[in-house]
Chain A
Amino acid sequence: MAELVDAVRSTPRLIAVGAGTKPRLSAVPGVMRLSTAGLRGIIEYEPDEFTFTALAGTPVRDIAAALAAQGQYLPFDPVLAGAGATLGGTVAAGLNGPGRFRFGGLRDFILGVRFVDGTGRLLRMGGKVVKNAAGFDLPKFFVGSLGRFGVMAEVTFKVFPRRAAALTLRLPAGDAAGLATILTGAAGTRWELDALDASLDEGAVFARLAGPAPAIETLAGEILARWPGEKLSAAAAEKWWTDATEFGWAHPDGALVKVVLTPARVPDLAALVRPLPGARVWIGNGGNVAYVSLASAAEVPGLGEHVRQAGLAALTLRGVAAPLWPAGRARPAIAPAVKAALDPQNRFPSLDES
């Protein structure tokens, strides 16, 4: 921790980097890359409290393993854990996996953060208990902040007990309009689905139920009576969800772009990727997000322009040659003042430096 503070103080321009699983986010020319790999380990884990605190460079999979040993998990299903993503990188990227659908996203489970600000001070914001309303909620602001406001040293999260059993249904839907119909139709029901994703390429919705085995069997029957489909085997379900969180479906060396959506706009998204040959699309969180994989970074600006025209927002995760904000971004006048409050010497790059 002291080394981290020294490193920040002695480096005029820097950005913290975890495992580099979303390489576009930290690809900033002209700044030093500070690896958090040495900041590794779980500081506190109290299963009875539903909380843990870990150093920012701790691989998410290590945390997942420690939680699983106590029957608990991070309910937003952190992405790229298998690829080695760190806890700090996951917070800075602000990405959620399929579990976001039921209980909320990373922003809803982060409780506290300890970070080094631009003046080199080690500060703790938020708390270590599951409920806290003291002080400004800076931990939430760090979610999606791309390392531009401070270097995270330690993060505290809320966790939940894992449900007894899970079951996944594959519901073929045809075109994007069909997908949107199932996504919106299934979301507001009594079933309390655990995850609700879709593959535009397969033209199918994937609904996951979690709870006591006999209960979810009954619910599955009711869902299949409404929309024809099939129950996936445990192995097939495991593969689908791992593919979803690890982006196993994407072009291995291509560009990956997150697009913010609402469920009703799934058909619009489908229309705007149609002109891009080879585009693959995974729809997450009940139709609130799409991840678009393109064979080459050179295609990202074209996608970004369509996304911008549709009034949606986007962020490039992979494809260092592509723009970070392919659809542009809002620049509220207040933002530079907030940046200066946390980083008066502009030690960390701005959101526009990329």
Chain B
Amino acid sequence: MGQLMKNPSESSAVIARLAALLPAGRLLVEPVQLAAYESDGLTAFHARPLAVAVPETGEEVIALVRFCHAEKLPFVARGSGTSLSGGSLPIKEGIVITLNRLNRILRLDPVQRFAVVEPGVINALVSVAAAPHGLHYAPDPSSQSICTIGGNVAFNSGGAHCLKHGMTSNHVLGIKAVLATGEVVEWGGASREQVGPDWCGLFVGNEGLFGIAIEVTLQLLPKSECFHTVLAGYRTLEQAGDAVSAIVASGLLPGAIEIMDALALEAAVAAVHAEYPPGCEAVLIVELEGPRETVAIERVRLDEIIAASRPVEARPARDAAERMAIWKGRKSAFSAVGRLSPDFIVQDGVVPRRRLGEALRRIDEWSREAGLRCANVFHAGDGNLHPLILYDGRAPDGLARAEALAGRILKMCVEMGGSITGEHGVGVEKRDYLPDMFSADEIDCMKRLAAAFDPAGIANPGKMFPVAGAPALVQHGLHPLEKAGVISRE
């Protein structure tokens, strides 16, 4: 970090100058106003920023960032604050720039199949706007009813359909951004092709360390005409895992392959009255998509493979309502599990798919050793685990044991050749584990890149890279929006 604010009086002078940039009422400074911005989806961490700026236009965002650059004032951009890695956790020496009011879909071209949107547009609303044209925006993080495109871009968000459709980055065609230097850049555009280095690709997933996207061009895809969704229950997790291997080896390319374990099933039953085959330790959900003629043929093949995998019971969705019910149980599972315990930690490490069974066995073993319960709901198609470790923060060593288990799981993911994060990003939560995945030289290279975009160290400092002497940070409890049933985790 550069020369940041030194004392409170200096800070208040800067904030007074900052207020002049915005119309009255759009710089929040009162403690009661700031309270709502102290935390994000990683609810254990709080930091009260000096102020929250509420711009309504890209021009205002540019002016704010240029001001921060000139004053060496740190800033954290924020959408709806659903980051599960603490990506939009404020810093107390800086300001939050909240982008929710930049919520316009600036252009939607159904013929050339793209949309230009502001960063505060909610993910699901892009598909809503595209739906009348038979199109949709593919990335579907489970917080999609509330999370914003700007946050998705900053953290390269995933979802349940990544094996086939990729992550956010694979759907961003162009970005107009104000960099931490104050420079405004426009990279990519409406075309699905480009020449020269892929600046857009580099910007997506920068975790707010490069600057703020103020306009994003998204590719839209035709909505699949037909789906075939099957729910199959198995006696053991291993059998469910074997079924996944058989599906993958068959040459089919399902849109989604998900697994829920017994604890997750129990929670989903309690929470949304989901019904699963009795006596199952694991449930597999597989979904095919495509033109009806293709699905009609491929579903026969899928049904054969599933029958051969000896499930307790397999239930294909007979209509759209049954499909929605299957997905409702799946998407509610995480917050449902969260209700079983006062506190929990959720992570999103990735292992090679063939090692899923081994990874789950070790997680189970280590949870027993630690005397903790751990639920698993995960994207089996792409090896993206989501162990949810339940603990009681009031117990003297509850948090420490849960933390130790979580750390063990992340290190296992790296040892198996996977990743510490599949879709939530590093943020604050996993920054201490970055050195497990990357060498000192590699982290140095990434720091040099960050410094190139942000020589003053003002853009979302404290995220992604380990901070010397920082306490380990752990998440507990349900996000308030999860409690309200608005969002859920994957």
Hey, which bits of chain A sit against chain B, CB under 8 A?
A: 46-50, 71, 94, 96, 100, 103-105, 107-108, 117, 121, 123-125, 127-138, 140-146, 148-149, 160-162, 164, 184, 187-192, 211-212, 214-216, 218-219, 258, 260-264, 284-286, 288-289, 313-315, 325, 329-330, 332-334, 337-338, 340-342, 351
Contact = CB atoms under 8 A, between A and B. Distances in A.
B448 A188 contact: no
A212 B294 contact: yes
A136 B205 contact: yes
A103 B296 CA distance: 21
Given A121-B441, A191-B291, A264-B111, A131 B384 contact: yes
Given A137-B169, A140-B202, A141-B197, A117 B445 contact: yes
B193 A260 contact: yes
A212 B384 CA distance: 29
A89 to B, nearest CB: 15
Given A132-B419, A341-B449, 16 more contacts: A125-B446, A127-B418, A130-B353, A131-B382, A134-B420, A135-B434, A136-B205, A136-B206, A141-B197, A141-B202, A188-B111, A190-B134, A212-B297, A260-B189, A288-B191, A337-B453
B158 interface: yes
A216 B113 CA distance: 23
Nearest to B207: A136
A114 to B, nearest CB: 10
Nearest to B163: A130
B23 interface: no
Contact of A149 (B189, B197, B249, B292): B197
B449 A338 contact: yes
A215 B300 CA distance: 13
Shortest 9 CB-CB contacts between residues of A and residues of B:
A140-B201, A215-B293, A337-B452, A341-B448, A315-B195, A289-B193, A212-B297, A132-B419, A190-B225
A145 B112 CA distance: 27
A48 B293 contact: no
A292 B247 CA distance: 42
A133 B421 contact: yes
B423 A260 contact: no
B445 A121 contact: yes
B198 A48 contact: no
A272 to B, nearest CB: 16
A44 to B, nearest CB: 9
B202 A123 contact: no
Given A140-B202, A212-B298, A260 B291 contact: no
B454 to A, nearest CB: 10
Given A135-B437, A161-B253, A188-B113, A105 B192 contact: yes
A258 B196 CA distance: 11
A162 B187 CA distance: 33
Given A334-B181, A334-B185, A132 B350 contact: yes
Interface in B406-448: 417-426, 430, 434, 437-439, 441-442, 445-446, 448
